[in-house]
Structure 1
Amino acid sequence: MDVKQRRLERLERRVARLDRQIAMLRARSDAYVRLRVGIAGVGLVITCLAFSQVGNEAGYFSAAASLLVFLVAATFHRRVQASLRRHDYWQRIQRLHRARIRLDWVHLPASRASAPPDHPFAHDLDIVGTRSLHRLLNTAVSLEGGNRLADWLLATEPDPEALTRRQALVRELTSRSHFRDRLTLYGWLAAGHPDAGITGDHVLAWFRQETATPPALRDVVLLSVLAGVTAALFIAAAQQRLPQWWMLTFLLYAGYSLFRLRELGDLFGQALSMQAVLRNLHGIFRYLEAYRFAPNSRLADLSAPFHDPRERPSAVLRRIGRIVTATSLRNNPILWTMVNAVVPWDLGFAYLLTRQRTRLSARMPVWLDTWSELEALNALAAFADLNPDYTLPVVRVGSHVEAQGIGHPLIPFEAKVGNDFSLTESGSVVLITGSNMSGKSSFLRTLGINLVLAYAGGPVNADHLDTALFRVFSTIRINDSLTEGFSYFYAEVRRLKRLLDALEAEHPYPLCFLIDEIFKGTNNRERLIGSRSYIHALAGRNGLGVVSTHDLELVQLADEIPQLRNAHFREAVVDGRMTFDYRLRPGPCPTTNALKIMQLEGLPVEIPDEARS
């Protein structure tokens, strides 16, 4: 049995087991609903009887006892509901793993990543979009984690140091499926729903916000002294030992308090709006603090900010939470007025809040950045774990691409065909010819998307991939730019000119170019002339790549260009049906199929004798 099929069956068993557990928890929750209704009903009847038949004392006791029993049942019910929610989310995580293996796009979350229209490869290789690599990979809950992953996939130049580091981290994370899934679970619980996300920039904006005139410690001390003096004078006046001097000090206290509080602006309102967000982050940070990676591992180094004993994130967030909770006294105007009339409650907590916010303004970006980095790495590690037949590539200095069993990660594994391929010299070009639908375009995308994965630090869909560091540039999917007044052909020419400029530029990293159906936007004669000249310009430069074409006349360029070699895909007609094996073979294509396709689809066409052979 295929290793991926075994992984799928394991997930199926896990989902089925969770189905049973969720059904049991739902039944228990329904039982608690009935129990609570019963307790309320019986308690009401008993309380009414106690008041009417026994007396007020018995009635109050019965009401209190009924309420206590109801609250106990409600507490246990909430625990069951929380467990049900966690199990439901956990099952959804497993279902998403299954959807990623199956390429079940209907059940995968949408990707919000995008790339500029003139990106060198993003649109051709489906890095972003509806059925894209980013959508398949992205498991991040935070917007920044998803964006970090997109940045790695869309990088136009490889970063060898970052690549090596990410590869090592992905290797360590691949076997830690429980850690990855738990981090996703805590993220969903924090966000409130699996389809919701967390935006770290929103949190950072509050920490970076400046209070117009922040309260100083001397203000708090001064008002505390005034409050103390006022209290002492009030007591003395109440005992008739002094005149009503407390009124004077109280007016000073109240006036200065109102003056300073007015200068705080909406400090407390903003803090209250952040309370839920900070409370949710607390669960994520606490999990990262508690998890222990192997000592001296790269993961231990990465997560070090969460293990600083001097300033644990969860403790800091809990401290801020307590301060914000204290400021919520404003929601009760009567109690707020009474408390602030006696002590400088608001100003004291405003001082503590601004002090904590200032202290954390440097630390919070580090914690959020570490979490985002872990989420992006988790996406690559999950991809490796769900596809155990994929491998981490060898990336080293040189001008070569050598692949064995390379396939396309966005093609279902049941229909996928792996190919061997190599380019070992700078300046070399492979010209691929082949029939319609034989696999030329898919192979170009296969090569490009695996290079993108390799440079992001992730696994590749190949038995083995050994590659140098390249800039990637593709010309596969050209769109008419009607809004700018460009025809298909002109858009293609502009794209090919950009590719040639990139190839001719002095750059430490050579270019890997992927060109599909060169100059297909013009007539046969001019396409052939233009293609010959362009391929001559490609050969022998600072790069290497693949060009596909329908023009069999171009295979003769192998006699003119030492760096060029031919390869092809072919088809066969079996029992009146066109079949393809999608195998890359050396040499020019010996067959064509355009006329055969026309004939098989019932179009009127005369097939010359040479095309029948």
Structure 2
Amino acid sequence: MIRSAFARLFDLDSEPPEHFFTTVEIGRLQSVTHDPRRALDEQTWRDLLLETYEERLAQGSSIYGRQLLHRRLRDGLDDADCAALGERLRALADDPARLDALTTALRPLRHAGLEVAGLLFEDTLPPRPAWAYFTWVLPFLLLVSLGLLATQPLGWLATIAALAPLMALQISYHRRLEMWKNTLDSLNALLSASGKLALLGGPLLDPFVAMQRETTRLHKRLARSLLLRAIPLAEPYLNWFGAYNVGRYWKTIRSVETARGFLRTLYLEAATLEADVALARHLRERGGWCWAERGPARRLVLEEGTHPLMDKPSALSVTLDGRGAFISGQNASGKSTFLRMVGLNLVAARAFGFCYAKSARLPAVPVRASMQNEDSLLGGESLYMSELRRARELLQADVAGVCLIDEVFRGTNHLESVSAAGAVLERLSRRDLVLVSSHNLVLARILAAEFDPLRIDTGSGRPVLAPGVLRDPNGIALLATQGFGPEIEGRAAEVARWLSAHLAEQASATDA
């Protein structure tokens, strides 16, 4: 009997609609609860393609689970929380029947069409005005005016006078009533899922069982009455001629304000569980991952790491211990992809405790990237100014981390590019573990004291990360493959030989 009562109350069987949420809405929980010292910044988020990765993880999840996954990706987890998450994911991944049952029980969350993290953690609800306590007077006056209309010649004046404030309320409150209705729908979706989880019971669900009584009580206060749901046309009449929706608006606002602490707890429990279920499904559906050990801030070991967004990724291994890495390689050899692979695995290990590799020992520190700097016509910022701004942001960061920099300072001439890059990278490497890729191979010599030279070798048909600096660039050779013709190719090779000899003479003179 109790189970059937919950089923009726929580309306569990309807098909969840598809809702679209903006990046701002998905990031709302993180934005109101984050630690700025640990959070990934916007450029790193874009450069590492983390929005696409997040979409892959969150498939089939509601806004609640998506917001929790987003916060974990942006802020990471400390050692204790990461270890606890690992235990939960192992238990879920090893029990597919339980995983399916939880997925079904969490289904009501997907009815939420509005995010409520801002409401629960940040927003201030409006106080109830004094006149709102007397809205019951308006329909009473309308009934009296209808009596006058039937008995007095000028009774219609009284009816108009009684209808005017009712109409004015509906017009002035229309927008906020619609927004609040969507908010209540999202809160009721949360309460519905929590009630279903309490009925399911078992591992991980004790908090929902403990909150079951309060969940039911609050749901009854926030949900529309069964009578009005049974008679759909009754509610519009009650709204227009009885101000029912205005009275319910202020009543439910007070209920939410009173229960805000409880709703926060319920929100975090449900969002955490849904995020865990999404991650467990992800791990069951794909291979090529491992549990990542946590290591010192300047030590990085990644064995056969891959990028989870690539259909057929090439596995690369890298080990760094205190020193940065200068990455060289021919055009289209995969330097940028390698940096993104390392960055995404660092982020995943810090956020979830696993990464996409055969084995890994990674630092749980903030990751900062500089890979897609561009000139901005609207912003009035050239490419080089954009690169300088980003370099300054990296240098001014509060805590040590891992920096991933692709083609540093390509927006100015070769000489000044190398000079500026050398100075910035030397300074940055004093605090951070830095991985930088560049076609300016002379940088490897300048940075030899702080950076290990590594090259991506594709000679065997698949990329391999090997020690040393690229010896045979292919920029000029690619002219022939792209149809530029022998005249341009020959002239380019001639200029390249002259420049190489000229720079070598300058280097000899400087050494002397």
TM > 0.5? yes
2:272 corresponds to: 373
AA aligned to 2:469 is: P
**2:195–2:215 Cα contact (<8 Å) kept:** yes
1:556 aligned to 445, 467, 476, which one?
A: 445
Q: What CA distance in whole angstroms lies between the structure 2 residues aligned with 1:397 and 1:169?
A: 25
Q: What CA distance in whole angstroms lies between the structure 1 residues aligned with 2:126 and 2:96?
A: 38
**2:328–2:438 Cα contact (<8 Å) kept:** yes
How much has 1:531 moved relative to structure 2? 2.8
How much has 1:154 moved relative to structure 2? 2.0
Q: What CA distance in whole angstroms lies between the structure 1 residues aligned with 2:463 and 2:196?
A: 47
- Taking a change above 3 Å as real, the CA distance of residues 354 and 283 of structure 1, as seen in their structure-2 partners, is closer
CA displacement, residues 437-488 of structure 1 (integer Å, 9 cap, x when unaligned)? 1011111111111111111125211111112232211111112122221111
CA displacement, residues 225-254 of structure 1 (integer Å, 9 cap, x when unaligned)? xxxxxxxxxxxxxxxxxxxxxxxxxxxxxx
1:466 equivalenced with 2:361 (yes/no): yes
1:416 equivalenced with 2:325 (yes/no): no
1:525 corresponds to: 415
**1:142–1:200 Cα contact (<8 Å) kept:** no
1:307 equivalenced with 2:180 (yes/no): no
CA displacement, residues 271-290 of structure 1 (integer Å, 9 cap, x when unaligned)? 98877666654542222112
2:284 corresponds to: 385
How much has 1:158 moved relative to structure 2? 5.9
1:166 equivalenced with 2:47 (yes/no): no
1:148 equivalenced with 2:68 (yes/no): yes
| 1:533-548 correspondence runs (5 A) | 533-539=423-429, 541-548=430-437
| 1:45-60 correspondence runs (5 A) | none
- Taking a change above 3 Å as real, the CA distance of residues 159 and 545 of structure 1, as seen in their structure-2 partners, is same
Q: What CA distance in whole angstroms lies between the structure 2 residues aligned with 1:402 and 1:275?
A: 48
2:197 aligned to 255, 274, 288, which one?
A: 288
Q: Secondary structure at the match of 1:123?
A: helix
AA aligned to 1:288 is: L
1:493 equivalenced with 2:388 (yes/no): yes
AA aligned to 2:47 is: D
| 1:268-279 correspondence runs (5 A) | none
1:136 aligned to 45, 49, 56, which one?
A: 56
2:473 aligned to 581, 592, 612, which one?
A: 592
Q: What CA distance in whole angstroms lies between the structure 2 residues aligned with 1:119 and 1:140?
A: 25
Q: What CA distance in whole angstroms lies between the structure 1 residues aligned with 2:437 and 2:123?
A: 53
Q: What CA distance in whole angstroms lies between the structure 2 residues aligned with 1:203 and 1:328?
A: 30
Q: What CA distance in whole angstroms lies between the structure 2 residues aligned with 1:309 and 1:203?
A: 21
- Taking a change above 3 Å as real, the CA distance of residues 118 and 487 of structure 1, as seen in their structure-2 partners, is farther
How much has 1:603 moved relative to structure 2? 1.0
Q: Secondary structure at the match of 2:290?
A: coil
1:570 corresponds to: 457
How much has 1:136 moved relative to structure 2? 1.1
AA aligned to 1:166 is: L
- Taking a change above 3 Å as real, the CA distance of residues 372 and 185 of structure 1, as seen in their structure-2 partners, is same
- Taking a change above 3 Å as real, the CA distance of residues 176 and 352 of structure 1, as seen in their structure-2 partners, is farther
How much has 1:145 moved relative to structure 2? 2.7
How much has 1:388 moved relative to structure 2? 3.4
**2:190–2:270 Cα contact (<8 Å) kept:** no
Q: What CA distance in whole angstroms lies between the structure 1 residues aligned with 2:217 and 2:198?
A: 10
- Taking a change above 3 Å as real, the CA distance of residues 547 and 326 of structure 1, as seen in their structure-2 partners, is closer
AA aligned to 1:438 is: S
- Taking a change above 3 Å as real, the CA distance of residues 471 and 329 of structure 1, as seen in their structure-2 partners, is closer
AA aligned to 2:87 is: A
Q: What CA distance in whole angstroms lies between the structure 2 residues aligned with 1:430 and 1:207?
A: 49
1:126 aligned to 24, 43, 49, which one?
A: 49
2:507 corresponds to: none
- Taking a change above 3 Å as real, the CA distance of residues 208 and 171 of structure 1, as seen in their structure-2 partners, is farther
**Percent identical residues:** 21
Q: What CA distance in whole angstroms lies between the structure 2 residues aligned with 1:587 and 1:146?
A: 42
**2:221–2:252 Cα contact (<8 Å) kept:** no
Of the two structures, which has the highest relative contact order with CA contacts closer than 8 Å and spacing of 6 or more?
2
Q: What CA distance in whole angstroms lies between the structure 1 residues aligned with 2:380 and 2:105?
A: 50
Q: What CA distance in whole angstroms lies between the structure 2 residues aligned with 1:401 and 1:441?
A: 18
Q: What CA distance in whole angstroms lies between the structure 2 residues aligned with 1:359 and 1:178?
A: 38
Q: Secondary structure at the match of 1:594?
A: coil
Q: What CA distance in whole angstroms lies between the structure 1 residues aligned with 2:231 and 2:128?
A: 20
Q: What CA distance in whole angstroms lies between the structure 2 residues aligned with 1:585 and 1:358?
A: 60
**2:77–2:352 Cα contact (<8 Å) kept:** no
2:23 aligned to 113, 117, 134, which one?
A: 113
- Taking a change above 3 Å as real, the CA distance of residues 179 and 544 of structure 1, as seen in their structure-2 partners, is same
- Taking a change above 3 Å as real, the CA distance of residues 367 and 591 of structure 1, as seen in their structure-2 partners, is same
1:454 corresponds to: 349
AA aligned to 2:454 is: A
**2:103–2:277 Cα contact (<8 Å) kept:** no
**1:472–1:511 Cα contact (<8 Å) kept:** yes
**2:59–2:278 Cα contact (<8 Å) kept:** yes
1:363 corresponds to: 262
CA displacement, residues 376-400 of structure 1 (integer Å, 9 cap, x when unaligned)? 2333222222223311211144531
CA displacement, residues 5-59 of structure 1 (integer Å, 9 cap, x when unaligned)? xxxxxxxxxxxxxxxxxxxxxxxxxxxxxxxxxxxxxxxxxxxxxxxxxxxxxxx
- Give 1 or 2 for the bigger CA radius of gyration: 1
Q: Secondary structure at the match of 1:522?
A: coil
CA displacement, residues 103-157 of structure 1 (integer Å, 9 cap, x when unaligned)? xxxxx997733589963511110112xxx111111136432431222222122x7
- Taking a change above 3 Å as real, the CA distance of residues 141 and 389 of structure 1, as seen in their structure-2 partners, is closer
Q: What CA distance in whole angstroms lies between the structure 1 residues aligned with 2:192 and 2:301?
A: 45
AA aligned to 1:582 is: P
Q: What CA distance in whole angstroms lies between the structure 2 residues aligned with 1:535 and 1:320?
A: 57
AA aligned to 1:418 is: A
CA displacement, residues 58-107 of structure 1 (integer Å, 9 cap, x when unaligned)? xxxxxxxxxxxxxxxxxxxxxxxx98x87xx8xx9xxxxxxxxxxxxxxx
Give RMSD over aligned pairs: 4.6
AA aligned to 2:202 is: F
Q: What CA distance in whole angstroms lies between the structure 1 residues aligned with 2:98 and 2:308?
A: 25
Q: What CA distance in whole angstroms lies between the structure 2 residues aligned with 1:214 and 1:381?
A: 52
- Taking a change above 3 Å as real, the CA distance of residues 393 and 213 of structure 1, as seen in their structure-2 partners, is same
Q: What CA distance in whole angstroms lies between the structure 1 residues aligned with 2:58 and 2:104?
A: 15
Q: Secondary structure at the match of 2:47?
A: coil
Q: What CA distance in whole angstroms lies between the structure 2 residues aligned with 1:403 and 1:570?
A: 18
**1:323–1:349 Cα contact (<8 Å) kept:** no
Q: Secondary structure at the match of 2:213?
A: coil
1:515 equivalenced with 2:425 (yes/no): no
- Taking a change above 3 Å as real, the CA distance of residues 214 and 190 of structure 1, as seen in their structure-2 partners, is farther
How many equivalent residue pairs? 427
TM-score, normalised via structure 2 length: 0.69
How much has 1:317 moved relative to structure 2? 2.0
